[in-house]
Amino acid sequence: MTTWRDSNWQTRLLMLRQRAAQAAHLGAWPDFIIIGAQRCGTTSLYDYLSQHPSIQPALRKEIHYFDNHFDRSPAWYRAFFYPAALRRPFRPCLTGEATPYYLFHPHTPARLAATLPRARLIVMLRNPVDRAYSHYLHEVRRGHETLPFAAAVARERERVNIAPATLADPAAYDPAHHHFSYLQRGHYATQLQAWRQHFAPAQMLIIISESFFAQPATTLAAALAFLGAPDPDWRPAQFARRNFHGNYEDIPPALRHQLEAYFASHNRQLAHLLGYDPGW
């Protein structure tokens, strides 16, 4: 005879099995995230990593969950990642995404740490003058920017003036903060310090973009080792720079010198934080 206690135990076991089955079909949480910076080679690095047999890419490179879509559910975010059962078979497999706005968004460090405290983070940093100009050209191509570059950087403080507290609302989004932050995104030390309040330095790999552009194989090997997937004999199909849109006019020398002077103190702060000079 089945007792009430036996029946209750069987019901609980059935519920646990159902939950386990549902979890098996949920997308996995990512193991790593490339958090920025924008226009620093994140697309190329993510493309190379995604070709590795031990890495399953997300369904979309830039998901923007922790910055622009934090009002969505965790299930919405996980839907962009393959369930563990459907990942590449026969070997351990990692998954991750790359949303370069994460590095700059003031509330992403706390959000990501609360959700994925063990995640490994990759940060790519480029000469901030070159990054700002590349960012500007990107916004021109996308139709967001109509001002000349000199005017755009001169008016940045006027245009990008939202209070960080305003962006604390999970549904908040400010287009100017996202699109016109040419100079502010180059304050790398300030941003890294915010992230280090939530993540140990050992969880963050800092890559200097110029080194990546010059020696992609060496940088890729370091990234794979950092992710726990060292593979010295593996190479992607080819090393081709992604999101590179040809040649444009150089920044006028006077404006370049002005921007180099602007970033000088920020670069010194970064060198002190990193323990080495990035060479800018």
Q: For residue 234, what is the enclosing H or E element? A: none
Contact 172, 166 (CB under 8 A): yes
Of 271, 266, 275, 224, nearest to 54 (Cα)? Answer: 224
Give the pLDDT means over successive 10-residue stretches in the chain (280 positions): 51 46 70 98 97 93 98 97 69 90 99 99 99 98 98 98 96 98 99 99 99 96 94 83 67 97 99 98
24 CB contacts (<8 Å, ≥6 apart)? 83, 84, 85
pLDDT, position 202: 98
Tell me the backbone φ, ψ of residue 109, rounded to 5 degrees: -55, -45
Contact 209, 124 (CB under 8 A): yes
Q: How far apart are CA 171 and CA 67, in angstroms?
A: 9
Q: How far apart are CA 33 and CA 101, in angstroms?
A: 12
Contact 98, 13 (CB under 8 A): no
pLDDT, position 85: 56
pTM beyond 0.95, yes or no: no
pLDDT, position 83: 86
The fold for domain 29-241+249-274 equals: Rossmann fold (3.40.50)
Q: What share of the chain is helix, strand, coil (3-state, %, to 5)?
A: 50, 10, 40
Q: How far apart are CA 270 and CA 190, in angstroms?
A: 8
Q: How far apart are CA 44 and CA 37, in angstroms?
A: 13
pLDDT, position 88: 58
